[in-house]
Structure 1
Amino acid sequence: MKIGYRTIKTAIGTPLAISIAQFLGLSNFVSAGILTILCIQPSRKQSFLSAWNRFLACVLASVFSLVFFEIIGYHPVSVGLMLAVFIPTTVYLKITQGIATSSVIILNLYSASGIDLNFLTDQFVLIIVGIGTGLLLNLYMPSLDKKLKNKQNRVESNFQTILYEVALYIRNKEIHWDGKEISETEQLLEEAFDLVERDKENHLLRNKHPYKDYFYMRQRQFELLKRMLPLVTKLPNKISISEKVAVFFESLSKAVHPGNTAILYLEELTKLQKEFDEEELPETREEFETRANLFRLLHEIEDYLVLKQKFKKSDIQHKKEAKSKAKA
């Protein structure tokens, strides 16, 4: 059984908050641990927002408690009436995240059967200790780079398989592939975007995330790959250029990586398209449909490569520039 970092933070923060509150001589010191548990969040951004919302809700709850309990009395009905007004107020102020936290303070004030300045101060310090401990622990967030890299590797591996299976079908017109990489890639991309968003929230001063553009590019390429598959299945007959297209897809399947060598394959594709244009005109309707689908397939793979070319600076051009500088 794997223990997550949020569990570890909760296990450390709860007794720490209780110990601090107890050391300061605060009443209801156990409540500090409850406040800390409620404040542990999955990202720094959520942590700051949560801490602020919970703090405001707790302060507001203290004011409402003072008014309702002192005027109506310390009776369960007072709690119900106060919550009937307090909760809509938090909704209006968009601090509903603090309802559970503030409920702890409300019940503490109710159980006191009398509220004075000293007790309010006591509860205010309790709020600072509980929420503050959770906030400090949330300043540490483990890096998600390893998980993102793993998603990247798995997406690329699936792309390789899909492209290779396309090459096999063009060449042999046989299907032995179960297509599981399609649904798996969709899931991987969804998970990757969730990780990217969480990692962005952990780096509040970072304007651009290194993986966001990458996975966006792969998502658009994946849509093109899905559009290619029906075209491939509509190639019933081999024509002279089919084997060259199959070789192209097979070669491309081996070149799926984070770098950018798309220009090489775009140049090769241009030659392939030129040969395709020089082919004899189809004589039958079936040959015409085959050529039309093959033409669309080459167009889709061109868009696929252009997306990669625009994603980042070409590694090929970079190498040429490096060699030129070395000679100079």
Structure 2
Amino acid sequence: MKLGARIFKTGIAITLALYLASWIGLPAPIFAGIAAIFAIQPSIYRSFLIIIDQVQANIIGAVIATVFGLIFGPSPIMIGLTAVIVITIMLKLKIEHTISIALVTVIAILESAGDDFLMFALIRTSTVILGVLSSFIVNLVFLPPKYETKLIHNTVENTEEIMKWIRLSMRQSTEHSILKEDIEKLKEKMIKLDQTYLLYKEERSYFKKTTYVKSRKLVLFRQAIITANRALDTLKKLHRLENEIYHMPEEFQETLTEELDYLLYWHELILMRFVGKIKPHDDADEEGIRYKRLLTKSFLKNQQNTDDELIDYNMLNIMASAVEYREQLEHLETLITSFQTYHPKDCEIETEE
């Protein structure tokens, strides 16, 4: 099990909230610690966006809890009823992500009746807000997330795993059920990769120069993910058409294997350029065009010699996947070349998480 930065930040935020509440002299500092748990966010930008909503939800919960406490008095039934009302208001205001903080405030105020209920409610509200602010400070200062590094690392890792399975699948060296399970895992990894991309996209740059560079990186990373998804689509077709490919003409099978071998080799070179390990190569273009022509000629030739329309359709299907994969690789290489040409100082990329 790997402990992420968010786990450590949660622990630091709880500790900070408890220490600050005790230092200020607030009673029941435990509520500050509880609030800190719910206020931790995965990125600095989200912390800026969320903190206003969290404070707003805290105030709404405090006002409603105070009113109900003054009118009906604190009791388990009133806590439950107040919680329902607060949740309804949060949903109406479309800030449902702050429901947890609001409910912490409600319980903190109504869990006990003090001599001066208004002052008691104010102190408890301040305690919860202190927990929220503690989390905000921790998000801002401690272990800021490196989503760019994580994005590149996961993109390369996922792509390499997909290419490994394509090579094995082309040579019919895979177990059908095992590959099916791994394809599902790869789908989940690609979904998580998209989420990491969105978190990286949310991060803000505060200088014009870095903003421009990041905008180009976003385009580059997006294309790298799209290309990996095209490779995954090719793998899924190879897996789904495993038996059908076996019955295709041998010449077409050999040509398809050569084409995909070249595309995987090309993709590997692009990935190495992507992380700045090698310089551009121009000698592979002619060879790539030759494989592309051979695959097209093989398809047309075997289509004329085959009477089975289903085989023709399957050949066209798998060839179309290879063609689309090639097009995405071409676009990715163009973007990398452009980026490395105009931003040579920003080409050094960390690939370790």
Q: TM-score range by the shorter chain?
A: 0.7 to 0.9
Structure 2 partner of 1:191: 192
AA at the equivalent of 1:177: T
The Cα of 1:183 is off from its aligned counterpart by: 4.0
Distance 1:146 1:281, change over 3 A: closer
Spell out, residue by residue over 1:221-245, the C-alpha distance to the aligned partner (whole angstroms, 9 max, x if none): 4224433552861544434x76455
TM-score, structure 1 as length reference: 0.75
- The change in CA–CA distance for 1:10 and 1:163 in structure 2 (over 3 A counts) is closer
- Mapped to 2, the partners of 1:315 and 1:90 lie a distance apart of 45
Tell me the alpha carbon deviations over residues 76-122 of structure 1, each in whole angstroms, 9 at most, x when there is no partner. 44434433433322221223333332333334433243446654553
**Which 10-residue stretch deviates more, 175-184 or 49-58?**
175-184
**Structure 2 residue 221 is the aligned partner of structure 1 residue 211:** yes
Q: 2:173 aligns with which of 158, 173, 176?
A: 176
Asked if the contact 1:36/1:130 (under 8 Å) is kept, the reply is yes
Which of 240, 245, 268 matches 1:233? 245
Looking at structure 1, the residues matched to 295 and 335 of structure 2 have their Cα atoms a distance apart, in angstroms, of 22
Q: Partner residue of 2:326? A: 305
| Structure 2 residues not aligned, in runs of 5+ | 206-213, 274-279, 342-353
Deviation per CA, 1:106-165: give whole Å up to 9, x if none.
Answer: 344332434466545534432332110011112243324444334333333334334434
The answer as to whether partners of 2:36 and 2:132 remain within 8 angstroms in 1 is: yes
1:310 is displaced (CA, Å) by: 2.2
Following the alignment from structure 2 to structure 1, what is the Cα–Cα distance between the partners of residues 17 and 305?
Answer: 83
RMSD over equivalenced CA pairs, Å? 3.9
Alignment partner of 1:269 out of 273, 282, 291: 291
Task: Say whether the 8 Å CA contact 2:33–2:131 is kept in structure 1.
Answer: yes
Q: Output one character per residue of 1:166-195: Cα deviation in whole Å (capped at 9) or x when no partner.
A: 654xxxxxx332252644533432332233
Look up the match of 1:222: 232
Q: How many residue pairs end up in the alignment? A: 312
Equivalent-residue separation in structure 1 for 2:2 and 2:257 (angstroms): 45
Q: For structure 1, which segment, 125-134 or 136-145, has the greater mean C-alpha deviation from structure 2 after superposition?
A: 136-145
Q: Secondary structure of 1:255's match?
A: helix
- AA of the residue aligned to 2:289: E
Q: What's the TM-score, normalizing by structure 2?
A: 0.70
Change (3 A) 1:227 1:60: same
Give the direction of change, closer, same or farther, for the CA distance of 1:35–1:220 in structure 2 (3 Å limit). same
Q: Does 1:161 align with 2:164?
A: yes
Aligned to 1:256: 267
Q: CA deviation at 1:17?
A: 1.4
Whether 1:151 aligns to 2:154 is yes
Task: Provide the C-alpha distance between the structure 2 equivalents of 1:147 and 1:106, rounded to a whole number of angstroms.
Answer: 38
| 1:65 aligns to 2:65 (yes or no) | yes
Tell me if the contact between 2:32 and 2:127 (Cα under 8 Å) persists in the aligned partners: yes
Name 1:3's counterpart in structure 2. Answer: 3
Distance 1:234 1:43, change over 3 A: same
Q: 1:265 to 1:141 in 2, by over 3 A?
A: farther
In 2, Cα distance between equivalents of 1:278 and 1:84:
67
* TM-fit CA distance, 1:318: 9.8
